[in-house]
Structure 1
Amino acid sequence: MDSRGPALYAPAGPSVDLSRSTEEDSLVDGPLIPADALHSAIRRNFQSVPTPGHAGLLSVLHVVYVVLSMCVAVLCVLEFGQKDVCNNILGNVRGDSVIVFGKVCLWVLVLLFTGCVQHHHNQARSRGYLRFYRQTQGLKHLPLTVHSAGNVLLLVVLAVRLSQTVQTYMLLSVLGLELLIAVPCLLYYTVQVMRFNRERAAPDVSQEEHSHNYSVTSLTTETGFREGSSLEEVVEKQADLIEYLKQHNILLSKRLLNLTAQH
């Protein structure tokens, strides 16, 4: 009895290991997924940032506002034109008040534009484009800063008791200076975003992985903490890596399901 016991139970261990190793070998021996296929799949899933159209529209509205403000200031405030025409168009509202009201409306549009840009850039950051987010971080807030500074200067001009002519020229000077600073910033921002959309690049971590031939050591060194790097930068890079790995796993799962369905 003692000699038969080990003989009966001996094959049980190898049979379990054999079945488990067969399943593992079937997965390992399957067709490997090339790195270029995953890279091209990420490029196909690229989502562009739709803010260049908003920036162009805001630039046009800014130019139109300044031109109309100059016309109102020259024709209605300085009264170089027909006064009756201004009274018929503006009614009892003063010309300088119309310019100020228009400036407030333009500032509200710039505020909405900044919020829209921030929303789309946060989405791009969550998709792994941390480098693009950092490059445009200060640029996307610059138009709002310029318009806010222009509002302060307008308040100063209106608060100081000057003659109507001097005050009008000062008002137009502030609007012109604001136009010369804000519109080039919007155009430069538009160029940067259009270039990003045209390149349709993979996420930052994917580019690093592709350039280093999927070297785990180099990727960990780039993402880990190094001397002289700030804690915020390390956390942002780690968050970028986690987001990329989620997308990478989703693509791997889709590829494996497709290969399984083919076989």
Structure 2
Amino acid sequence: MRVTQSMLSQNMLRNLSSSYNNMGKLQEQLNTGKKVNRPSDNPVVVMKGMGYGMQVNKVEQYQKNMGEVNNWLDSSDDALDGVGQVLHRMKELATNAANTGTMTETDRKAIGTEMNQLREHLRDVANTKVGDKHIFSGSMTDQPLFNKETGLFEDGDSFSKHVEIEVFDGINLRVSTDVSKMFKEIDDMFGEVEGMIATGEGFSGLITSIDSKLDSVLSKRADIGARSNRAELMHNRLEMQEGAAKKQRSQNEDVDYEKTITDLITSESIHRATLSVGARIMQPSLMDFLR
């Protein structure tokens, strides 16, 4: 086959174009830090990258859910700690009121006034909210446990149904604590105090009831603590899942800078050699042969 000057020139230009394209792709990879910047670069890598990206996003959403779980549990524990403080103070006042021989009418009125304030505080605690959700109202998170308009604690199946938050595929953690009955019983105890103060009797039985409710509060807090421990384990698991998913995505998409820089330097050297050879090929003319 006869090789003409035109064929040599066309081959040289085609090789130069390929060399430019290769260097352009390597420079783009260094600029973006990604192996592929459009689906046509490598469809397989792009599809895998989408899958890894979805996994990372899913784990990040579960981590946000874990933040809500911790808010619920921490707020519930803090609120029940407040209930415990109310009961301890109530016990102190009941013990003082039981000493009928040393208590004056003024003292009893003062105790009654403080008891009323403790009762109001208890009702406020029963309506504790996280964001816009009442955490002690079961599945009825939009309604307070204590209705200030009726002066009554709400009751019903909805107020004992649990609230759960998804923290992993197919794994839900219970964040609500069923204390509606306990709050109502404590509030009823406060309702009996007024008559006791008037007669000075019945405080011994009240103290026994307070101790029983303190045990209930401790039991509920222990349950919250157990769920908090599980939430911590799930948090650690999610961190491991996030690290694994991001590592897989990085291995699939991110460039190896050292290798890419080496490839670019090599491509530049080859490109210069191609230009040098091309200059020699294009240089000869008819006058050069006649010399």
TM-score, with normalisation over the residues of structure 2?
Answer: 0.44
Bigger strand share:
2
The structure whose RCO (Cα within 8 Å, separation 6+) is larger is 2
